[in-house]
Amino acid sequence: MKIIGVDIGGANTKITEIDENGKHIIKHIYLPMWKENHRLTEVLKQNCPESDFKVALVMTAELADSYATKEEGVIAILDAVAEAYSNKIPIENISVFDTEGNFISVDEAKINHMKVSASNWMATAELVKEINENCIFVDMGSTTTDIIPIKNGKVLANDNDLERLMNNELLYVGTLRTPLSFLANQINFRGVLSNVSSEYFAITGDVSIIMDKISENEYTCETADGKSTSVEDSLIRISKVLCTDLNQISKEEAVKIAEEYYDIWKNLIKTNVSLVSSKYDLKDVIITGLGEKILIDSLNSDYTIKSITEIYDKDVSLATPSYAVAKLMYDNL
Amino acid sequence: MKIIGVDIGGANTKITEIDENGKHIIKHIYLPMWKENHRLTEVLKQNCPESDFKVALVMTAELADSYATKEEGVIAILDAVAEAYSNKIPIENISVFDTEGNFISVDEAKINHMKVSASNWMATAELVKEINENCIFVDMGSTTTDIIPIKNGKVLANDNDLERLMNNELLYVGTLRTPLSFLANQINFRGVLSNVSSEYFAITGDVSIIMDKISENEYTCETADGKSTSVEDSLIRISKVLCTDLNQISKEEAVKIAEEYYDIWKNLIKTNVSLVSSKYDLKDVIITGLGEKILIDSLNSDYTIKSITEIYDKDVSLATPSYAVAKLMYDNL
């Protein structure tokens, strides 16, 4: 029987299909849940086999603004998922992965919404511990960075986002969507520490493009000004962070702003990983996600690094939780 | 002849009408220029006398995302303004205030766009220097805080936003619209320094409401989740900054998050004002804007403070640049 691993994130839904022979196909769908959550059922319907399959589900989109509480979000998402597959498979074929590493039924998940809220990183960690049972697993996606300690084959991370934030296991900085104003409200420019704008003028995707850490077609979210993902347009956006433009400052200076933010960004990653590293005495790091190159730049000098791209392939690296949850179910069959 | 002072900001347009007897009426119009700049002409048309008036203009909206450069923005805004009044007054009746403190014609402003870009604070400073010729003038509006040194009756601030950011004269934090994630990417919570979310979950308006520094109807911008401006809804939004909700943490803890951000906010104001204060050896502060109460909380212990609300009235305090530019033209007649 085919298995589909579904990871419903705030901005992207990722679906990994594993067939009877263990071959996988991965799909990425941009679906901004804070404004288009009504489209979820339709999107899932369009991206599944005809019949006779199982679904392994993880989610983080319940945190989106469309829902007042996580409970409301989890239940709405589970209802949308159940509806999407209701004509093709019995509801027993849908399992939800929880933050303790188990698959539970849709009904159980509805009752225990905190168990299934933001369990995507747990699915990946369960996969990673097979590779190295003493490591820090770091996944930088479009929006966030998960920093997961694995010790003696046990995933030691906290099981909800609040406690993960409090323990440096969740850093809300990703490869694309983080406003630069979040990284720092002051930066060095022309030799002085300058204030910056708090408007949504430029995001980490612009820095990733300018620093050549992703390709233009990997910049899959909307840009801040709706214009292209080119280096040229990214430089225009980044100049606005200092309330200026490419008439008033040079392109080289705009590149320097990007470099400055890139240094701050790398330091944030390094600081958070090092706090987890000292706490659990772990020096090996396994990295994955769209930001692998940025993670290497941040951590290479202090840690032994292996990437999911090397171990599997780039497709898996870009959608690790959906692959992991499908693979975990496949291995359980 | 009547005079209207028009201040076209990124989020709000404010219009002060001064009649032949010096009496003023002030209008606030929420007009988010980054998405509704096409409505500017119509909005101005609907808010002016029938005929026989003069227009005194300042702007900051040219920085909005709808324009690639300030030049493009200034010219588009000047065209929209000229069109709005074209049936009622000759174009010579429209004057644009520049960052050197002079009124220039629309045609001159088009040629020298940098002279009229973001000159609103200069208009206010020209008014304030009549009140105290040795002071720091601090205006916290919905979006930003201007910190303007006035020494021996001379306005010593830099004349463009880039240099004002670089010199602590522009702090991009306002009473309503600043994302809390800009104030700090880590806050104290339950005794630890915790990471926070970088999503657009809560803004300074929520803190202003929770800390009782503005009234619900002064929270004039959109909330982050589109819900109400009540304390209750503000607490829901603020809990999301830690990826949590009011099931997982108590209301008292959500209030503590607001207090934490309020402290960080006050410190940012204090630090920036104190750098300007030492540089120019100024200890008197004149405050204005929607955030007057917050400025008092931030600066009361270190400075002698007077507010525009005391000197004029609250209406003028909430729209000082449009009043100032109208008043300056009135006094010149």
Average pLDDT, integer, range B221-240: 96
The Cα B302–Cα A332 span in angstroms is 67
Strand pairing report for B12-18 and B2-8: antiparallel
Domains of chain B, each with CATH number or no CATH? 2-117+313-332 (3.30.420.40), 133-302 (3.30.420.190)
pTM value? 0.87
Least Cα distance to A199 among B64, B35, B201, B138 occurs for B64
> What value does the mean pLDDT of chain B take?
95
B255 and B276 Cβ atoms separated by less than 8 Å: no
CB contact under 8 A, A173 and B243: no
| pLDDT at residue number A63 | 83
Q: Hey, is B305 helix, strand or coil?
A: strand
Tens digits of per-residue pLDDT, A113-136?
A: 999 998 898 999 999 999 999 999
Q: Which of residues 174-203 of A touch B (CB under 8 A)?
A: 177-179, 181-185, 189-190, 192, 194-201
Minimum distance, in Å, between the CA of residue B205 and any CA atom of chain A = 14
A279-323 pLDDT tens trace: 999 999 999 999 999 999 999 999 999 999 999 999 999 999 999
Task: List, in order, residues 6 or more apart from B26 with CB less than 8 Å away.
Answer: B14, B15, B16, B17, B315, B316, B318, B319, B322, B323
- Listing DSSP states for A182-235 in one string gives HH-SEEEETTEEEE---SS--BHHHHHHHTTSS-GGG--SPPTTS---SHHHHH
Is residue B47 very low, low, confident or very high in pLDDT (cuts 50, 70, 90)?
very high
Q: A145 has which bridge partners? A: A140, A171
Partner-chain residue, chosen from B65, B185, B272, that has the shortest CB–CB distance to A182: B185
The strand pair at A192-195 and A12-18 is best described as unpaired
Residue B118 has pLDDT above 90, yes or no: no
ipTM, 2 decimals? Answer: 0.86
Backbone dihedral angles phi then psi of residue A219, each to the nearest 5 degrees: -80, 80
A270 touches chain B (CB under 8 A): no
- CB-neighbour burial class of residue B123 (10 A; exposed 0-12, middle 13-18, buried 19+): buried
How far is A320 from chain B, CA to nearest CA, in Å? 22
Q: Alpha-carbon distance B182 to B138, whole Å?
A: 20
Apex A40 CA angle, A37 and A41, nearest 5: 135
B167 contacts on A by Cβ (under 8 Å): 192
CA dist B93 and B95 (Å) reads 6
Q: A317 burial class (0-12, 13-18, 19+ CB within 10 angstroms)?
A: buried
- State the average pLDDT over residues A259-279: 98
Q: Do A63 and B192 lie within an 8 Å CB cutoff?
A: no
What percent of chain B is modeled with pLDDT above 70? 100
Handedness of CA B176, B177, B181, B183 (dihedral sign): negative
Helix (H, G, I), strand (E, B) or coil at A56: strand
Contact B189 A196 (CB under 8 A): no
d(CA A92, CA A82): 10
Q: pLDDT (tens digit, 9 = 90+) per residue, B61-94?
A: 998 878 888 899 999 999 999 999 999 999 999 9
Partner residue opposite A65 with nearest CB, options B160, B173, B225: B225
